[in-house]
Structure 1
Amino acid sequence: MTSGDLLTYYDDRTGERFGLTPGELGAWTAATSALLTEGCGLGPGDTAAVLLPPHWQTAAVLLGAWSAGMRLSIRGWATAGLTPAGDPLDVTFVERRRVGNWLDEVPDGRHQFVLGLAPHGEATGDVPPGYRDYTSSLRPYLGVHPPRHEFQEHLPAVADGTTYREYAQTAAAVAERNGIRSGDRVLIDTAEQEQPLIWLLGPLSVGASIVLCAHLDASLLDDRIAREGITQVLR
Structure 2
Amino acid sequence: MNSTDRTPADLLRSALAADPGRPLVTFYDDATGERVELSVATFANWVAKTANLLQGDLGAGPGDRVTLLLPAHWQTAVWLLACSSVGALADVDGDAAAADVVVSGPDTLDAARACGGERVALALRPLGGRFPQPPAGFADYAVEVPSQGDRFAPFAPVDPEEPALIVAGREFTGAEVVERARDEATGLGLTGPGSRILSGLGYDTWEGLNAGLYGALATGGSVVLCRNLGALDEEALAKRIESERVTAVAR
Task: Please tell me the TM-score bracket, short chain as reference.
Answer: 0.7 to 0.9
SS state of the match for residue 97, structure 1? Answer: coil
Give how far 1:47 is off.
0.8
Residues of 1 paired with 2:154 and 2:112: CA distance? 33
Partner in structure 2 of residue 24 of structure 1: 42
* Residue 9 (str. 1) matches residue 4 (str. 2): no
Q: Which whole-Å CA distance do the structure 2 matches of 1:109 and 1:43 have between them?
A: 17
Indicate which of 207, 222, 233 corresponds to 2:220: 207
Tell me if 1:122 matches 2:129.
yes
Matched, 1:196 2:213: no
**Structure-1 residue corresponding to 2:197:** 186
**In structure 2, what is the Cα distance between the partners aligned to 1:157 and 1:131?**
24
> CA–CA distance in 2 between the matches of 1:185 and 1:220?
18
| TM-score, normalisation: structure 2 | 0.81
CA contact (8 A) 1:28 1:142 kept: no
Alpha carbons of structure 1 residues 17 and 142: separation in structure 2 relative to 1, 3 Å: farther
1:173 and 2:173 correspond: no
Give, in angstroms, the shift of residue 59 of structure 1.
Answer: 0.7
Cα contact 1:69–1:157 (8 A) shared by 2: yes
Alignment counterpart, residue 98 of structure 1, candidates 70, 83, 108: 108
Q: 1:166 to 1:144 in 2, by over 3 A?
A: closer
- Between the aligned partners of 2:38 and 2:210, the Cα distance in structure 1 is 19
State the match for 1:36 in structure 2: 54
Counterpart of 1:78?
none
Runs of 5+ consecutive residues of structure 1 not aligned to the other structure: 76-80
Q: Deviations over 1:163-193 (max 9, x none)?
A: 2111211222232322212120111113598
Instruction: Give the match's secondary structure for 1:112.
Output: strand
The whole-number CA distance in structure 2 between the counterparts of 1:14 and 1:210 is 19
Using the TM superposition, give the Cα deviation of residue 118 of structure 1 relative to its aligned residue in structure 2, in angstroms: 0.7
Q: Is the 8 A contact 2:203 2:212 kept in 1?
A: no
The CA distance in 2 between the partners of 1:118 and 1:222, in whole Å, is 26
- Classify 1:138/1:177 alpha carbon distance in 2 versus 1 (closer, same or farther; 3 Å): same
Residue identity matched to 2:120 = F
1:149 to 1:111, Cα distance in 2 relative to 1, 3 A: same
Task: Determine the structure 1 residue equivalent to 2:7.
Answer: none
8 Å CA contact 2:92–2:204 kept in 1: the answer is no
- Give the secondary structure class of the aligned counterpart of 1:170: helix
Provide the rounded CA distance (Å) in 2 between the counterparts of 1:148 and 1:224: 42
Which protein has the bigger helix share? Answer: 2
Tell me the CA shift for residue 21 of structure 1: 0.5
Q: Secondary structure at the match of 1:63?
A: helix
CA RMSD of aligned residues (A): 2.2
Of the three residues 47, 66, 71, the one matched with 2:89 is 71
